[in-house]
Chains A and B, each alone.
Chain A
Amino acid sequence: MDNFTVGIVVFPGSNCDRDVSWALEGCLDIRTKYLWHESSDLSDVDAIVLPGGFSYGDYLRCGAIARFSPLINALNDFVKSGKRVLGICNGFQILTESGFLPGALVSNKNLNFICDDVELEIVSSTGGWFNTGNEKRTIKLPIAHGEGRYHCDSDTLKKLVDNELIALKYKNNPNGSSFDIAGITNKQGNVLGLMPHPERACDQVIGGTDGLFTLKSLVSQ
């Protein structure tokens, strides 16, 4: 695992790429590499993070333009091979826009940009992204988004529930998300998208370490 490298995708407008790198390198000693969105060579990375931010200025819809980058095209084979992909905030929006995860993320119900720490319930163990090993099934992570209200039709919601693909739920739904959804996985479990920011909760000095497990699990296969 010494050479395990996590690729961090940088779009024009990404702004959490360096936070993710700091959390992985500085807190977990995991090697990272920035991947410019125009690159389609993913051969030397073992997992990928799509970080938060405002890719392409959130023009048209959040994540809608990023979806057409060469890197996202190349992501299809990467995901099929079973390698792990984590989409945080804008990264989650890109994963839904590009069809890797179902549903969509729309304006918060109260129209506010919400920047806060939230309590989250770990719902499913699919993909092993969260610590379900102990009794405490609640974690606290920061959120910072204006378009984080998860929306899907009732058939999709049923599939998410039946297949245990809802990874995280808000304890006090801040944005009006359907079924309190804060994060979901694909069926195989190797793709996770979530609105909260685990990379901002990796050091006690900045308020908590509940994000460490999820970032560490990029390495666990």
Chain B
Amino acid sequence: MDQFAVKVFIRLRPSVLDPAGEATKSASIKLGAEGIKSLRIGKMIEVKIEGNGENEVREKIDLLCDRLFANTVIEDYEYSLEKL
């Protein structure tokens, strides 16, 4: 069995308004940060997972992302995978 560290990034789809991102952008500007064109907030999920090789682990992570971690009606996901 190989063990992998996976980082899953979940983002609101570009068409979905992100009011929390807008509020944070507004606060960033009040802090004095200049030049912020857009700011959107997502989620990152870290998973340690075992499996027989990278392909099998990718299948598991794809299922988790598609069915649980992200709601693909409103969110996109991508992930990076590192063999431990």
Contact = CB atoms under 8 A, between A and B. Distances in A.
Contacts of A104: 71, 73-74
Contact of B19 (A60, A61, A110): A110
Interface in B5-38: 12, 15-17, 19-20, 23
A64 B71 contact: yes
Interface string A74-109: 000000000000000000000011000011101111
Contact of B74 (A68, A106, A176): A106
Interface in A150-172: 151-153
A159 to B, nearest CB: 13
B71 A61 contact: yes
A60 B23 contact: no
Contacts of A152: 73
A108 B20 CA distance: 10
A205 B42 CA distance: 44
A206 interface: no
B71 A108 contact: no
B19 A111 contact: yes
B79 interface: no
A109 B17 CA distance: 8
B74 A97 contact: no
Interface of A: 60-61, 64, 68, 96-97, 102-104, 106-111, 149, 151-153, 176
16 contacts: A60-B69, A61-B71, A64-B71, A96-B73, A97-B71, A103-B73, A104-B71, A104-B73, A104-B74, A106-B17, A107-B19, A107-B20, A111-B19, A149-B17, A153-B15, A176-B19
5 nearest CB pairs, A to B: A104-B73, A104-B74, A111-B19, A107-B19, A104-B71
Given A64-B68, A109-B17, A111-B19, 14 more contacts: A60-B69, A96-B73, A104-B73, A104-B74, A106-B12, A106-B16, A107-B20, A110-B19, A111-B20, A149-B17, A151-B16, A151-B73, A153-B73, A176-B19
